[in-house]
Protein backbone atom coordinates (compact mmCIF):
# COMPACT_ATOMS: atom_id res chain seq x y z
CA UNK A 1 0.00 0.00 0.00
CA UNK A 2 2.86 2.33 0.87
CA UNK A 3 4.32 1.57 -2.54
CA UNK A 4 1.14 2.78 -4.21
CA UNK A 5 1.24 6.01 -2.28
CA UNK A 6 4.63 6.99 -3.64
CA UNK A 7 4.25 9.56 -6.36
CA UNK A 8 7.51 11.35 -6.89
CA UNK A 9 10.69 9.60 -7.73
CA UNK A 10 13.73 10.87 -5.86
CA UNK A 11 15.87 11.14 -8.98
CA UNK A 12 13.26 13.34 -10.64
CA UNK A 13 13.23 15.62 -7.58
CA UNK A 14 17.02 15.86 -7.36
CA UNK A 15 17.28 16.58 -11.07
CA UNK A 16 14.56 19.26 -10.95
CA UNK A 17 16.23 20.88 -7.94
CA UNK A 18 19.52 21.17 -9.80
CA UNK A 19 18.06 22.09 -13.19
CA UNK A 20 15.77 24.80 -11.87
CA UNK A 21 17.95 26.19 -9.11
CA UNK A 22 16.40 24.89 -5.90
CA UNK A 23 19.44 23.03 -4.57
CA UNK A 24 23.05 22.73 -5.72
CA UNK A 25 25.76 20.43 -4.41
CA UNK A 26 28.06 22.32 -2.06
CA UNK A 27 31.44 23.23 -3.59
CA UNK A 28 30.43 21.48 -6.79
CA UNK A 29 33.34 22.87 -8.85
CA UNK A 30 35.70 21.08 -6.43
CA UNK A 31 33.87 17.79 -6.72
CA UNK A 32 31.37 18.47 -3.91
CA UNK A 33 31.50 17.89 -0.19
CA UNK A 34 29.45 15.32 1.71
CA UNK A 35 26.48 16.40 3.76
CA UNK A 36 26.21 20.05 2.77
CA UNK A 37 23.97 21.61 0.11
CA UNK A 38 23.49 25.09 -1.31
CA UNK A 39 20.05 26.52 -1.96
CA UNK A 40 19.70 28.37 -5.27
CA UNK A 41 17.38 31.26 -6.16
CA UNK A 42 14.15 29.23 -5.87
CA UNK A 43 15.27 27.03 -2.96
CA UNK A 44 16.20 30.01 -0.84
CA UNK A 45 12.73 31.49 -1.34
CA UNK A 46 11.06 28.21 -0.43
CA UNK A 47 13.10 27.97 2.76
CA UNK A 48 12.48 31.61 3.64
CA UNK A 49 8.75 31.07 3.19
CA UNK A 50 8.77 28.00 5.44
CA UNK A 51 10.66 29.86 8.15
CA UNK A 52 8.50 32.94 7.97
CA UNK A 53 5.16 31.09 8.13
CA UNK A 54 6.52 29.04 11.04
CA UNK A 55 7.60 32.21 12.84
CA UNK A 56 4.33 33.95 12.07
CA UNK A 57 2.22 30.99 13.27
CA UNK A 58 4.36 30.07 16.29
CA UNK A 59 5.48 33.50 17.51
CA UNK A 60 3.57 36.42 15.99
CA UNK A 61 0.12 34.86 16.24
CA UNK A 62 0.57 33.61 19.80
CA UNK A 63 0.65 35.45 23.04
CA UNK A 64 2.58 32.73 24.86
CA UNK A 65 5.74 32.39 22.72
CA UNK A 66 8.65 34.78 22.23
CA UNK A 67 11.66 34.48 19.95
CA UNK A 68 15.41 34.16 20.45
CA UNK A 69 18.51 34.05 18.25
CA UNK A 70 21.38 32.51 20.22
CA UNK A 71 24.95 31.99 19.00
CA UNK A 72 26.08 28.83 17.26
CA UNK A 73 29.24 28.84 19.39
CA UNK A 74 28.63 28.31 23.09
CA UNK A 75 30.61 27.64 26.24
CA UNK A 76 32.02 24.09 26.07
CA UNK A 77 30.43 23.25 29.41
CA UNK A 78 27.01 23.60 27.82
CA UNK A 79 27.69 20.36 25.98
CA UNK A 80 28.88 18.60 29.13
CA UNK A 81 25.73 19.65 30.97
CA UNK A 82 23.43 18.72 28.11
CA UNK A 83 24.88 15.23 27.92
CA UNK A 84 26.10 15.65 24.34
CA UNK A 85 29.81 15.13 25.08
CA UNK A 86 29.00 11.86 26.78
CA UNK A 87 26.01 10.60 24.91
CA UNK A 88 25.51 12.21 21.50
CA UNK A 89 26.90 9.26 19.65
CA UNK A 90 26.02 6.82 16.92
CA UNK A 91 27.43 3.30 16.63
CA UNK A 92 29.90 3.16 13.77
CA UNK A 93 31.30 0.19 11.84
CA UNK A 94 34.21 0.13 9.37
CA UNK A 95 34.51 -2.14 6.37
CA UNK A 96 37.76 -4.12 6.57
CA UNK A 97 37.99 -4.32 2.75
CA UNK A 98 36.92 -0.96 1.27
CA UNK A 99 37.49 1.02 4.53
CA UNK A 100 34.15 2.84 4.23
CA UNK A 101 32.22 3.73 7.40
CA UNK A 102 28.57 3.15 8.16
CA UNK A 103 26.12 3.62 10.98
CA UNK A 104 25.73 0.18 12.54
CA UNK A 105 21.94 0.57 12.66
CA UNK A 106 21.88 1.32 8.91
CA UNK A 107 23.62 -1.95 7.99
CA UNK A 108 21.20 -4.77 7.34
CA UNK A 109 22.93 -8.17 7.18
CA UNK A 110 26.20 -7.50 9.00
CA UNK A 111 28.19 -7.08 5.73
CA UNK A 112 29.44 -3.90 4.05
CA UNK A 113 26.56 -2.37 2.01
CA UNK A 114 29.07 -1.19 -0.66
CA UNK A 115 31.33 -4.19 -1.26
CA UNK A 116 29.93 -6.97 0.94
CA UNK A 117 33.16 -7.01 2.99
CA UNK A 118 33.54 -7.88 6.66
CA UNK A 119 32.73 -5.15 9.18
CA UNK A 120 34.45 -4.21 12.44
CA UNK A 121 32.68 -4.30 15.80
CA UNK A 122 30.61 -1.12 16.39
CA UNK A 123 32.35 1.81 18.12
CA UNK A 124 30.65 4.88 19.47
CA UNK A 125 31.28 8.00 17.39
CA UNK A 126 30.46 11.50 18.69
CA UNK A 127 28.40 13.47 16.19
CA UNK A 128 29.40 16.94 17.35
CA UNK A 129 31.66 18.97 15.05
CA UNK A 130 34.64 20.11 17.05
CA UNK A 131 36.28 23.48 16.69
CA UNK A 132 38.68 25.77 18.58
CA UNK A 133 38.03 29.20 20.00
CA UNK A 134 40.99 31.54 19.64
CA UNK A 135 44.47 30.92 18.23
CA UNK A 136 45.57 27.99 20.41
CA UNK A 137 44.28 24.61 19.33
CA UNK A 138 44.32 22.78 22.65
CA UNK A 139 41.80 21.09 24.90
CA UNK A 140 41.04 24.28 26.80
CA UNK A 141 40.03 26.02 23.56
CA UNK A 142 37.91 23.17 22.25
CA UNK A 143 34.21 23.66 21.71
CA UNK A 144 31.59 22.43 19.31
CA UNK A 145 29.30 23.80 16.64
CA UNK A 146 25.87 23.40 18.23
CA UNK A 147 24.19 20.11 17.30
CA UNK A 148 20.77 21.55 18.21
CA UNK A 149 19.49 25.06 18.76
CA UNK A 150 17.68 24.02 21.95
CA UNK A 151 20.57 24.58 24.37
CA UNK A 152 20.77 28.28 23.46
CA UNK A 153 17.20 28.54 24.70
CA UNK A 154 17.77 26.65 27.96
CA UNK A 155 20.76 28.73 29.00
CA UNK A 156 18.76 31.91 28.32
CA UNK A 157 15.68 30.76 30.20
CA UNK A 158 16.23 33.16 33.13
CA UNK A 159 17.13 36.10 30.85
CA UNK A 160 14.01 35.69 28.74
CA UNK A 161 11.80 35.14 31.78
CA UNK A 162 13.13 38.36 33.33
CA UNK A 163 12.49 40.51 30.30
CA UNK A 164 9.27 38.97 29.01
CA UNK A 165 7.52 38.55 32.38
CA UNK A 166 5.73 35.53 30.96
CA UNK A 167 3.76 33.17 33.15
CA UNK A 168 3.80 29.40 32.74
CA UNK A 169 3.01 27.94 30.32
CA UNK A 170 5.09 29.88 27.80
CA UNK A 171 7.56 29.13 25.07
CA UNK A 172 10.75 30.37 23.43
CA UNK A 173 11.18 29.84 19.70
CA UNK A 174 14.31 29.83 17.62
CA UNK A 175 15.36 29.14 14.04
CA UNK A 176 18.99 28.54 13.25
CA UNK A 177 21.76 26.36 11.94
CA UNK A 178 22.83 23.16 13.65
CA UNK A 179 25.67 20.81 12.79
CA UNK A 180 26.10 17.06 13.16
CA UNK A 181 28.95 15.03 11.82
CA UNK A 182 26.60 12.39 10.42
CA UNK A 183 28.46 9.19 9.56
CA UNK A 184 26.45 8.63 6.43
CA UNK A 185 24.75 11.78 5.15
CA UNK A 186 22.24 10.66 2.55
CA UNK A 187 18.93 10.99 0.81
CA UNK A 188 19.77 14.38 -0.68
CA UNK A 189 18.99 17.18 1.80
CA UNK A 190 17.27 14.83 4.25
CA UNK A 191 20.34 13.92 6.30
CA UNK A 192 23.09 16.50 6.14
CA UNK A 193 25.94 17.68 8.34
CA UNK A 194 24.78 21.28 8.32
CA UNK A 195 21.07 22.04 8.55
CA UNK A 196 18.56 24.45 9.99
CA UNK A 197 16.21 23.75 12.85
CA UNK A 198 12.98 25.43 13.94
CA UNK A 199 12.58 24.71 17.62
CA UNK A 200 10.22 25.67 20.39
CA UNK A 201 10.95 24.99 24.02
CA UNK A 202 7.60 25.21 25.76
CA UNK A 203 7.83 25.51 29.55
CA UNK A 204 4.96 24.08 31.57
CA UNK A 205 4.11 23.30 35.17
CA UNK A 206 5.17 19.79 36.16
CA UNK A 207 2.10 17.58 36.07
CA UNK A 208 0.63 19.37 33.06
CA UNK A 209 3.39 18.15 30.76
CA UNK A 210 1.59 15.14 29.29
CA UNK A 211 -1.45 17.16 28.35
CA UNK A 212 0.73 19.86 26.69
CA UNK A 213 2.74 17.21 24.91
CA UNK A 214 -0.41 15.85 23.29
CA UNK A 215 -1.57 19.34 22.29
CA UNK A 216 1.74 20.13 20.64
CA UNK A 217 1.83 16.85 18.75
CA UNK A 218 -1.60 17.57 17.25
CA UNK A 219 -0.81 21.24 16.53
CA UNK A 220 2.42 20.50 14.75
CA UNK A 221 0.96 17.60 12.75
CA UNK A 222 -1.87 19.84 11.53
CA UNK A 223 0.62 22.57 10.58
CA UNK A 224 2.13 20.38 7.87
CA UNK A 225 -1.34 19.51 6.57
CA UNK A 226 -2.38 23.17 6.55
CA UNK A 227 0.46 24.05 4.18
CA UNK A 228 -0.32 21.31 1.74
CA UNK A 229 1.16 17.97 2.78
CA UNK A 230 -1.33 15.21 2.11
CA UNK A 231 -2.61 13.75 5.35
CA UNK A 232 -2.21 10.19 4.13
CA UNK A 233 1.51 10.84 3.57
CA UNK A 234 1.97 11.85 7.20
CA UNK A 235 1.99 9.69 10.30
CA UNK A 236 2.93 9.84 13.96
CA UNK A 237 5.36 7.38 15.45
CA UNK A 238 6.09 7.08 19.14
CA UNK A 239 9.65 6.31 20.21
CA UNK A 240 10.14 2.92 21.85
CA UNK A 241 11.88 2.73 25.22
CA UNK A 242 15.44 2.12 23.98
CA UNK A 243 15.11 4.69 21.20
CA UNK A 244 14.27 7.52 23.61
CA UNK A 245 16.95 10.18 24.03
CA UNK A 246 18.59 10.39 27.46
CA UNK A 247 16.58 13.51 28.35
CA UNK A 248 13.16 12.38 27.13
CA UNK A 249 10.18 10.96 28.94
CA UNK A 250 8.26 10.49 25.68
CA UNK A 251 8.81 11.44 22.04
CA UNK A 252 6.62 11.40 18.96
CA UNK A 253 8.01 11.79 15.47
CA UNK A 254 5.97 13.31 12.69
CA UNK A 255 6.99 11.24 9.70
CA UNK A 256 6.44 11.80 5.99
CA UNK A 257 6.37 9.12 3.32
CA UNK A 258 9.41 10.19 1.28
CA UNK A 259 10.31 8.29 -1.90
CA UNK A 260 12.91 6.46 0.25
CA UNK A 261 10.32 5.49 2.90
CA UNK A 262 8.77 6.92 6.08
CA UNK A 263 11.18 9.33 7.73
CA UNK A 264 11.16 12.01 10.43
CA UNK A 265 10.21 15.60 9.67
CA UNK A 266 9.91 16.75 13.26
CA UNK A 267 10.27 15.29 16.74
CA UNK A 268 8.12 16.40 19.67
CA UNK A 269 9.67 15.45 23.00
CA UNK A 270 8.75 15.73 26.61
CA UNK A 271 12.20 16.70 27.91
CA UNK A 272 11.01 16.91 31.54
CA UNK A 273 13.04 19.23 33.80
CA UNK A 274 16.28 17.52 32.76
CA UNK A 275 17.87 20.40 30.85
CA UNK A 276 17.15 23.20 33.29
CA UNK A 277 18.33 21.07 36.22
CA UNK A 278 21.53 20.10 34.40
CA UNK A 279 22.35 23.72 33.57
CA UNK A 280 21.63 24.78 37.14
CA UNK A 281 23.96 22.05 38.38
CA UNK A 282 26.82 22.78 35.97
CA UNK A 283 26.59 26.59 36.11
CA UNK A 284 25.90 26.85 39.83
CA UNK A 285 23.06 29.28 39.07
CA UNK A 286 19.52 29.00 40.30
CA UNK A 287 17.27 28.25 37.32
CA UNK A 288 13.61 28.11 38.26
CA UNK A 289 10.25 29.82 38.02
CA UNK A 290 8.47 31.48 40.92
CA UNK A 291 4.89 30.29 40.98
CA UNK A 292 2.84 33.12 42.50
CA UNK A 293 -0.20 30.89 42.96
CA UNK A 294 1.58 28.51 45.32
CA UNK A 295 4.39 30.80 46.47
CA UNK A 296 7.01 28.20 45.52
CA UNK A 297 9.86 27.88 43.05
CA UNK A 298 9.35 25.22 40.40
CA UNK A 299 11.59 23.86 37.70
CA UNK A 300 9.35 23.78 34.61
CA UNK A 301 8.96 20.75 32.41
CA UNK A 302 9.72 21.28 28.74
CA UNK A 303 7.79 20.18 25.67
CA UNK A 304 9.95 20.53 22.58
CA UNK A 305 8.60 20.57 19.02
CA UNK A 306 11.82 20.37 16.99
CA UNK A 307 11.63 20.43 13.21
CA UNK A 308 14.14 20.70 10.40
CA UNK A 309 13.73 23.48 7.83
CA UNK A 310 15.54 21.42 5.20
CA UNK A 311 13.43 18.35 5.85
CA UNK A 312 10.24 20.40 5.71
CA UNK A 313 11.43 21.95 2.43
CA UNK A 314 12.15 18.50 0.98
CA UNK A 315 8.80 17.16 2.20
CA UNK A 316 6.85 20.08 0.73
CA UNK A 317 8.78 19.70 -2.55
CA UNK A 318 8.16 15.96 -2.79
CA UNK A 319 4.49 16.41 -1.95
CA UNK A 320 4.05 19.23 -4.46
CA UNK A 321 5.73 17.34 -7.31
CA UNK A 322 3.34 16.08 -9.97
CA UNK A 323 3.81 14.76 -13.45
CA UNK A 324 0.81 14.77 -15.75
CA UNK A 325 -0.09 14.51 -19.43
CA UNK A 326 -1.47 17.64 -21.03
CA UNK A 327 -2.32 17.40 -24.72
CA UNK A 328 -0.11 14.32 -24.96
CA UNK A 329 2.87 16.13 -23.45
CA UNK A 330 4.38 15.61 -20.03
CA UNK A 331 3.78 18.52 -17.65
CA UNK A 332 5.84 18.73 -14.46
CA UNK A 333 4.19 20.93 -11.90
CA UNK A 334 4.95 21.79 -8.28
CA UNK A 335 1.58 22.31 -6.64
CA UNK A 336 2.92 24.39 -3.74
CA UNK A 337 0.59 26.05 -1.28
CA UNK A 338 0.58 29.72 -2.42
CA UNK A 339 2.39 30.82 0.73
CA UNK A 340 5.24 28.42 0.02
CA UNK A 341 5.61 29.12 -3.70
CA UNK A 342 8.99 30.81 -4.32
CA UNK A 343 7.53 33.11 -6.98
CA UNK A 344 3.89 34.19 -6.75
CA UNK A 345 3.45 35.59 -10.25
CA UNK A 346 5.35 35.69 -13.55
CA UNK A 347 4.64 38.24 -16.26
CA UNK A 348 5.34 37.64 -19.96
CA UNK A 349 4.84 39.60 -23.19
CA UNK A 350 3.28 37.34 -25.83
CA UNK A 351 5.72 38.66 -28.43
CA UNK A 352 9.11 39.76 -27.24
CA UNK A 353 9.88 41.65 -30.46
CA UNK A 354 7.01 44.10 -29.87
CA UNK A 355 8.45 46.90 -27.71
CA UNK A 356 4.99 48.13 -26.62
CA UNK A 357 4.12 44.68 -25.24
CA UNK A 358 7.49 44.34 -23.53
CA UNK A 359 7.09 47.79 -21.95
CA UNK A 360 3.57 47.06 -20.73
CA UNK A 361 4.60 43.69 -19.27
CA UNK A 362 7.66 45.20 -17.56
CA UNK A 363 5.53 48.01 -16.10
CA UNK A 364 3.02 45.53 -14.74
CA UNK A 365 5.79 43.40 -13.19
CA UNK A 366 7.27 46.52 -11.58
CA UNK A 367 3.89 47.44 -10.14
CA UNK A 368 3.42 43.98 -8.62
CA UNK A 369 6.97 43.56 -7.32
CA UNK A 370 6.61 45.52 -4.05
CA UNK A 371 3.61 43.37 -3.11
CA UNK A 372 4.70 39.83 -4.00
CA UNK A 373 7.65 37.91 -5.45
CA UNK A 374 7.30 38.67 -9.14
CA UNK A 375 9.29 37.55 -12.15
CA UNK A 376 9.45 38.98 -15.65
CA UNK A 377 10.50 36.63 -18.44
CA UNK A 378 10.60 36.92 -22.22
CA UNK A 379 13.36 34.47 -23.05
CA UNK A 380 11.22 31.78 -24.69
CA UNK A 381 7.87 31.07 -26.31
CA UNK A 382 4.76 31.38 -24.13
CA UNK A 383 4.26 27.61 -23.94
CA UNK A 384 7.78 27.11 -22.66
CA UNK A 385 7.52 30.04 -20.22
CA UNK A 386 4.40 28.47 -18.70
CA UNK A 387 6.15 25.13 -18.34
CA UNK A 388 9.13 26.75 -16.64
CA UNK A 389 6.88 28.42 -14.09
CA UNK A 390 4.89 25.21 -13.53
CA UNK A 391 8.15 23.46 -12.69
CA UNK A 392 8.97 25.94 -9.94
CA UNK A 393 5.41 26.09 -8.66
CA UNK A 394 4.43 29.67 -9.57
CA UNK A 395 0.67 29.91 -8.90
CA UNK A 396 -0.07 32.60 -11.52
CA UNK A 397 1.27 33.63 -14.92
CA UNK A 398 0.21 36.80 -16.69
CA UNK A 399 0.42 37.26 -20.43
CA UNK A 400 0.36 40.64 -22.06
CA UNK A 401 -0.86 40.27 -25.65
CA UNK A 402 -1.63 42.52 -28.60
CA UNK A 403 -5.19 42.97 -27.42
CA UNK A 404 -3.90 44.31 -24.12
CA UNK A 405 -2.87 47.44 -25.98
CA UNK A 406 -6.52 47.92 -26.94
CA UNK A 407 -8.48 46.76 -23.90
CA UNK A 408 -5.91 47.44 -21.15
CA UNK A 409 -6.51 43.90 -19.87
CA UNK A 410 -4.29 40.82 -19.51
CA UNK A 411 -4.70 37.06 -19.21
CA UNK A 412 -4.08 35.43 -15.85
CA UNK A 413 -3.42 31.70 -16.04
CA UNK A 414 -3.79 29.56 -12.94
CA UNK A 415 -1.12 26.90 -12.35
CA UNK A 416 -3.19 23.92 -11.20
CA UNK A 417 -6.32 24.20 -13.34
CA UNK A 418 -4.54 25.99 -16.21
CA UNK A 419 -7.69 28.11 -16.49
CA UNK A 420 -7.29 31.55 -17.98
CA UNK A 421 -9.22 34.66 -17.11
CA UNK A 422 -9.11 38.14 -18.61
CA UNK A 423 -8.56 40.88 -16.03
CA UNK A 424 -8.30 44.69 -16.51
CA UNK A 425 -4.75 45.82 -15.63
CA UNK A 426 -5.85 48.15 -12.81
CA UNK A 427 -7.51 45.15 -11.10
CA UNK A 428 -4.64 42.69 -11.47
CA UNK A 429 -2.97 43.33 -8.14
CA UNK A 430 -6.14 43.03 -6.09
CA UNK A 431 -7.21 39.91 -7.98
CA UNK A 432 -3.89 38.22 -7.28
CA UNK A 433 -3.76 39.26 -3.63
CA UNK A 434 -7.24 37.79 -3.16
CA UNK A 435 -6.43 34.56 -4.97
CA UNK A 436 -3.18 34.17 -3.02
CA UNK A 437 -5.13 34.44 0.20
CA UNK A 438 -3.54 37.72 1.19
CA UNK A 439 0.04 36.46 0.72
* Interface positions with ligand ATP (CB under 6 A): 148, 180, 182, 191-192, 195, 197, 264-267, 306-308, 310-311
Distance (Å) of CA 288 to CA 129, 156, 280, 430: 31, 12, 9, 51
Least separation in angstroms between residue 60's CB and ligand ATP is: 22
Smallest distance, ligand ATP to C-beta of residue 307, A = 5
Closest CB 148 distance from ligand ATP, rounded Å: 6
Q: What secondary structure does DSSP assign to 308-362, as a single string?
A: EHHHHHHHHHHHHEEEEEETTEEEEEE---TTT-S-SEEEEES-TT-HHHHHHHH
What is the C-alpha to C-alpha distance for residues 283 and 361, in angstroms, rounded to an integer? 62
Q: Please identify, using beta-carbon distances, which residue of 306 and 389 lies nearer to ligand ATP.
A: 306
| Smaller CB separation from ligand ATP, 265 or 333 | 265
Nearest residue to ligand ATP on Cβ basis: 308
Cα three-residue angle 66-197-210, rounded to 5 degrees = 65
Pick 186 or 322: Cβ nearer ligand ATP: 186
Give min distance, CB of 188 to ligand ATP, in A.
Answer: 10
Nearer to ligand ATP, 146 or 413 (CB): 146
Full DSSP string of 141-207 = GEEEE-S-SHHHHHHTHHHHHHHH---SSEEEEEEEEEE---SS-BTTTTB-SEEEEEEEEEEE-TT
Q: In the bound complex, what is the minimum distance in angstroms from residue 19's beta carbon to ligand ATP?
A: 23
* Least distance (Å) between residue 133 CB and ligand ATP: 24
- Per DSSP, 75 falls in state -
**Residue 307 or 342 having the CB closest to ligand ATP:** 307
C-beta of 200 vs 372, nearer to ligand ATP: 200
Please tell me the distance from the alpha carbon of residue 365 to that of residue 9, in angstroms, as a whole number.
35
**Residue 209 near residue 128 (C-beta atoms within 8 A):** no
Q: Which is nearer to ligand ATP, 199 or 401 (CB)?
A: 199
> Minimum distance from CB of 240 to ligand ATP (Å)?
13
CB of 397 to ligand ATP, least distance (A): 33
Give residues with Cβ within 8 angstroms of 247, minimum separation 6.
82, 83, 269, 271, 272, 274, 275
The DSSP H or E segment spanning 90 is: strand 89-94
Nearer to ligand ATP, 42 or 247 (CB): 247
Select 185 or 338, whichever has its Cβ closest to ligand ATP.
185
- 168 within 8 A of 161, measured Cβ to Cβ: no
- Shortest separation between residue 254's beta carbon and ligand ATP, angstroms: 8
To ligand ATP, the closest distance from the beta carbon of 231 in angstroms equals 19
Cβ proximity to ligand ATP, 148 vs 339, nearer residue: 148
SS3 416: coil
Separation CA 60–CA 321 (nearest Å): 30
Q: Which residues contact 255 (CB under 8 A, 6 or more apart)?
A: 234, 235, 236, 237, 262, 263, 264, 265
**Residue of 371, 386, 379, 376 lying closest to 420 (CA atoms):** 386
The CA distances from residue 166 to 63, 216, 288, in Å, are 9, 19, 13
Closest to ligand ATP by CB, 264 or 291: 264
Angle of helix 309-320 versus helix 10-20 axis, rounded to 10? 100
Short-list 368, 351, 352, CA closest to 423? 368
Q: CB of 260: closest distance to ligand ATP in angstroms?
A: 12
Amino acid sequence: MDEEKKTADMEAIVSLCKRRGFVFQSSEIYGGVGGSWDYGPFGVELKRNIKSIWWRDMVQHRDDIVGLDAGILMHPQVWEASGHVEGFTDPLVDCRSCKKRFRADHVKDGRCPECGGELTEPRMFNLMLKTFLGPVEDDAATTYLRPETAQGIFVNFANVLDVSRKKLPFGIAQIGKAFRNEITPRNFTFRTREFEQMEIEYFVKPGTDEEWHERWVTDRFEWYVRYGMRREFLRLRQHEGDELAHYAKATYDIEYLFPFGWAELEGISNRTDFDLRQHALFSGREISYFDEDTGTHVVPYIIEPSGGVDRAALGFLVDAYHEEKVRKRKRVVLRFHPELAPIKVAVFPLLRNRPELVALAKDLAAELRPHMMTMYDDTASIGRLYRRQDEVGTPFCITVDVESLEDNAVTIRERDSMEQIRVPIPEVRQTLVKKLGGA
